[in-house]
């Protein structure tokens, strides 16, 4: 078994560079601190604090890892201004209020997403009525059905299926074995391997004799810059559309039912499920394995904790946890009370909930 290596194994990732410190600082919109001269020092790659060498740039975002800063051998570190004077001798401080965002930008500088290779693989099956921009890439054994439209700079991966009439915008990345039907995608949409977009919603009329399927006549609309994780499924609408707003990030293994509307820049994390016709406002975070029943309204900026069972509306900006879901402070107050009762003690009604108990993104 191979030993751990720095990020960016050349077998899997294409590297650019080296890049001068001055160029990296310009990308971040920050000044170079801790280095004499004009920022001419060259940086060749990225690495975590503990593995970085003099030709690498690293970052510090979580205070938990602050002790590693004094020992790092990195040539430069992206960090908050509060830590800029704590970098070791010979290390450049790239101070920015959002170090993790800076790390994302610099990592992309060194390891950009692969550019599509314009053209159609000989094994692809393309209907004569499909409209494919000359700058698009169609991979091996992909199927593009009648009337589909593929925009410039978009790549369709191997074994992907694009159904009849589907519209995919510019600079999208549709990975291997994705199926897209009854859908219209904006620009810069990414769909990761195995995702299923636009299949029938789970709709039945129930009678004494059994179930009668209700035709699902809506579409899936996906906004600019949205990302849909691997093996996630998004049902098309019944009589309305299922809508995924711009900038929404859906993790792997997520299920979104018919007529669900997800507001811009919301995040839905792995194994969460949202039942039909639920309306989710912008900037909402739904943590892993949460389950939402149908026909709910989740207000803007709400946060739903991991494994929550949400059975009623959640107001804007509210954090909920538990099953059935309730306000975070109430949830922890009940947990602490039950624990003390189980231990034979006496619970205080003034017991406070731990701080920072809601779901969080990143590190």
Residues annotated catalytic, as ranges: 258
Contact 201, 237 (CB under 8 A): yes
Lateral strand order in the sheet of 56-59: 32-33, 92-95, 76-79, 56-59, 45-46
> Which residues are 321's β-sheet partners?
326
Residue found under tokens 């007529």: 259
Tokens of 332: 């922890």
How many whole angstroms separate alpha carbon 291 and alpha carbon 272? 6
Pick left, alpha or beta for residue 210 (phi over 0 → left; psi -120 to 50 → alpha; otherwise beta): left
Q: Which two tokens stand for residue 176?
A: 């291997």
Write 56-59 long-range contacts (CB < 8 A, 24+). 56/6, 57/24, 57/94, 57/106, 59/99, 59/100, 59/102, 59/103, 59/106
| Cα–Cα distance, 81 to 67 (Å, whole number) | 16
d(CA 306, CA 271): 10
* Largest CA-CA distance found in the chain, in angstroms, rounded: 82
Q: How many CB atoms lie within 10 A of CB 279?
A: 16
Nearest to 275 by CA among 257, 299, 297: 257
């Amino acid at each position: 078994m191979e030993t751990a290596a720095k990020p960016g194994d050349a077998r899997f990732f294409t590297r650019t560079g080296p890049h001068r410190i001055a160029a990296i600082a310009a990308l971040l919109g920050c000044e170079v601190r801790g280095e004499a001269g004009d920022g001419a020092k060259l940086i060749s790659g990225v690495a975590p604090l503990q593995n970085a060498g003099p030709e690498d740039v690293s970052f510090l975002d979580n205070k938990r890892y602050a002790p590693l800063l004094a020992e790092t051998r990195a040539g430069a570190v992206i960090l908050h201004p509060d830590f800029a004077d704590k970098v070791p001798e010979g290390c450049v401080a790239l101070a920015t209020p959002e170090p993790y965002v800076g790390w994302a930008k610099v990592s992309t500088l060194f390891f950009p997403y692969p550019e599509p290779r314009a053209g159609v693989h000989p094994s692809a099956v393309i209907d004569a009525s499909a409209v494919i921009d000359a700058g698009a890439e169609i991979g091996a054994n992909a199927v593009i059905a009648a009337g589909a439209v593929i925009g410039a700079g978009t790549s369709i991966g191997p074994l992907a299926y694009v159904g009849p009439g589907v519209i995919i915008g510019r600079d999208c990345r549709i990975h291997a074995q994705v199926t897209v039907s009854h859908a219209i995608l904006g620009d810069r949409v990414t769909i990761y391997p195995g995702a299923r977009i636009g299949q029938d919603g789970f709709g039945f009329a129930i009678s004494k004799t059994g179930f009668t399927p209700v035709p699902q006549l809506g579409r899936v609309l996906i906004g600019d810059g949205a990302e849909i994780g691997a093996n996630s499924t998004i049902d098309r609408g019944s009589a309305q559309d299922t809508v995924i707003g711009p900038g929404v990030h859906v993790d792997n293994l997520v299920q979104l039912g018919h007529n669900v509307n997800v507001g811009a820049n919301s995040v839905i994390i792995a194994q969460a499920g949202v039942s039909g016709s639920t309306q989710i406002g912008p900037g909402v975070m739904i943590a892993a394995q949460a389950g939402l029943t149908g026909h709910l309204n989740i207000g803007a900026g709400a946060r739903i904790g991991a494994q929550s069972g949400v059975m009623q509306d959640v107001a804007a900006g509210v954090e909920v946890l538990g099953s059935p879901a309730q306000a975070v402070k109430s949830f922890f107050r009940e947990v602490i009370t039950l624990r003390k009762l189980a231990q034979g003690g006496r619970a205080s009604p003034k017991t406070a909930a731990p701080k920072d108990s809601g779901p969080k993104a990143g590190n």
